[in-house]
């Protein structure tokens, strides 16, 4: 989450929304001046009328952008600015939503949410498009409709607001209904699937044709989905955190898999960074992108010798998009995906390996920092974190097991106390449809560790430990297999 807290805003120094500020007597005449200026500004700034349950209100706008803090405050939410974090937090009842000027991600009740567009600081205001404001208030349990010619704001209507979308996974297309904790009754009739919800639901947006899902409509509590001819529902299951209901379609075209011609297991190794993205830099100019490639090559050679097919996401100094890295593993139907990285820390003494698996939430601030650093090369607005995290959710137990096995071997090799397996929202892991981990093999910022890791014997020892872990994981007895 650290990435959400970087850019500080110098606007809106007030720590509360205007409606809750109370003047102090000693400041009276400054306040009068301020009020006059505010009045003049208010008079000159165009305003959009907002219908609320409490009556009509006005919120400043500039073109298509409206004043976010003023609008969000109309829900009754308290909006605070944290100078240290550089972010705003809106609190309403049990909901808490954090957003940052310039950012397109929000943290809602501890989870990352993608915003349709950025929240911008301009003219001493925070401005955002109506659709972005609509998502922000929806995260507080309210709904916003209309445009800058007139808006309607109210508590979200009775029922959960569903967002229906599709995800292509290795086993076929998944139709994902986000925003529901309910388990609907599912019945099929020809190419139509009807989901009857026990409690009211509404569609947050119309269902658009996506792949094998041709469309859908809601009547009362019954949602009807239209599927392409020959497609049917093979399985349904609910997921939590965030709440979703998933339908797995069968008869769907499988992903165009690359024929691997293999009989045994396949591991995809992902050397972190590459090209202009150099990653961390050691005290003697050691580059993370070179170290990760070296260790990936050594590990791949040892895996092949052990009868495990190994493929690299890059085998040269080239830039590869984070999403393309897991896409390769998905196409190859790899059994395991391992992204290899090296840490950097301001604490020069920091040392030892760390193994991560995917989570929308970081286990601690160090994990959050590590994820923010590794995610830096991902363009934020293309990060479909929440949607894609579905692919890893199905493999979470296996990923946790894999992470533990890897971390144990690396601890034994490095003779360190367990730094522990951690979870953090690493973009590179989100799209993997198989058990996936990210290994920070050590701290490049530590001179001793940088020298040891980049030297051939150190790299070989590390590769050997990785191969021990991966072969042990792949050959694990059935009782170790975690059930999803």
72 vs 427, beta carbon nearer Zn ion: 427
For residue 297, CA distances in Å to 161, 302, 315, 316 come to: 48, 9, 8, 10
The distance of Cα 311 from the centroid of its chain, to the nearest Å, equals 26
Nearer to Zn ion, 96 or 317 (CB): 317
Q: How far is CA 304 from the centre of its chain?
A: 33
In terms of CB distance, is 125 or 341 closer to Zn ion? 341
Given a contact cutoff of 8 angstroms between Cβ atoms, the answer to whether 231 and 273 are in contact is no
Which of 179, 271 has the CB closer to Zn ion?
A: 271
Here the tokens at position 416 are 């360190």
β 150-155/47-52 pair status: parallel
| Shortest CB 343 distance to Zn ion, Å | 8
Cβ proximity of 274 and 319 under 8 Å: yes
Binding interface with Zn ion (CB under 5 A): 272, 279, 341, 374
Here the tokens at position 272 are: 């972190």
Helix, strand, coil % over all residues of the chain, rounded to 5 = 30, 35, 35
Q: How far is the CB of 291 from Zn ion (least distance, A)?
A: 9
Q: C-beta of 390: minimal distance to Zn ion in Å?
A: 24
Residue identified by tokens 């946790």 is 400
Rounded to 5 degrees, φ, ψ at 107 are -110, 110
Which of 168, 341 has the CB closer to Zn ion?
341
Which of 387, 326, 329 has the alpha carbon at shortest distance from 166? 387
Residue 380 Cβ vs Zn ion, minimum distance, rounded to whole Å: 17
* Distance separating alpha carbons of residues 302 and 298, to the nearest angstrom: 6
Q: Cβ closer to Zn ion: 230 or 379?
A: 379
Nearest CB to Zn ion, comparing residues 128 and 370? 370
Question: Given the DSSP bridges, would you call strands 160-169 and 244-250 parallel, antiparallel or unpaired?
Answer: unpaired
Task: Determine contact, residues 375/426, Cβ cutoff 8 Å.
Answer: yes
């Amino acid at each position: 989450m650290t990435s959400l807290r970087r850019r500080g805003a110098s606007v809106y120094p007030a720590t509360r929304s205007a409606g809750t500020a109370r003047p102090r007597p000693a400041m009276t005449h400054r306040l009068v001046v301020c009020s006059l200026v505010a009045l003049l500004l208010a008079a000159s700034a165009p305003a959009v009328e907002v219908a609320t349950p409490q009556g009509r209100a006005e919120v400043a706008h500039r073109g298509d952008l409206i004043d976010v803090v003023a609008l969000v405050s109309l829900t009754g939410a308290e909006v605070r600015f944290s100078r240290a974090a550089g972010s705003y937090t809106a609190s309403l009842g049990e909901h808490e939503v954090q957003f940052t000027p310039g950012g397109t991600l929000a943290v809602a009740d501890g989870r990352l949410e993608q915003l349709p567009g950025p929240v911008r600081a301009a003219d001493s205001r925070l401005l955002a498009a109506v659709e972005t404001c609509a998502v922000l208030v929806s995260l507080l349990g309210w709904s916003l409709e209309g445009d800058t010619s007139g808006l309607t704001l109210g508590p979200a209507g009775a029922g959960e607001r569903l967002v229906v979308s599709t995800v292509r996974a290795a086993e076929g297309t998944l139709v994902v209904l986000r925003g529901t904790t309910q388990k609907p009754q599912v019945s099929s009739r020809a190419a139509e699937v009807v989901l009857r919800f026990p409690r009211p639901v509404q569609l947050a947006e119309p269902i658009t044709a996506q792949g094998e899902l041709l469309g859908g409509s809601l009547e009362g509590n019954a949602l009807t989905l239209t599927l392409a001819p020959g497609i049917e529902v093979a399985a349904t299951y609910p997921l939590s955190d965030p709440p979703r209901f998933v339908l797995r379609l069968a008869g769907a075209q499988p992903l165009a898999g690359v024929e691997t011609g293999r009989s045994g297991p396949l591991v995809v190794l992902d050397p972190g960074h590459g090209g202009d993205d150099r990653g961390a830099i050691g005290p003697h100019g050691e580059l993370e992108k070179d170290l990760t490639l070296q260790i990936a090559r050594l590990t791949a050679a040892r895996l092949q010798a052990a009868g495990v097919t190994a493929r690299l996401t890059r085998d040269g100094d080239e830039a590869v998009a984070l999403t393309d890295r897991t896409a390769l593993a998905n196409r190859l139907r790899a059994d395991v995906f391992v992204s290899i990285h090296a840490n950097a820390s301001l604490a020069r003494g920091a040392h030892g390996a760390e193994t991560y698996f995917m989570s929308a939430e970081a286990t601690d601030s160090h994990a959050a920092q590590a994820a923010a650093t590794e995610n830096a090369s991902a363009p934020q607005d293309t990060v479909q974190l929440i949607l894609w995290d579905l692919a890893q959710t199905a493999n979470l137990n296996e990923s946790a097991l894999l992470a533990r096995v890897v971390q144990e071997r690396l601890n034994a090799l490095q003779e360190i106390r367990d730094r522990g397996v951690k979870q953090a929202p690493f973009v590179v892991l989100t799209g993997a449809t198989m058990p996936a981990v990210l290994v920070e093999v050590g701290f490049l910022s530590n001179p001793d560790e940088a020298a040891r890791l980049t030297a051939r014997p150190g790299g070989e020892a590390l590769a050997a430990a990785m191969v021990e872990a991966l072969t042990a994981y792949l050959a694990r007895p059935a009782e170790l297999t975690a059930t999803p």
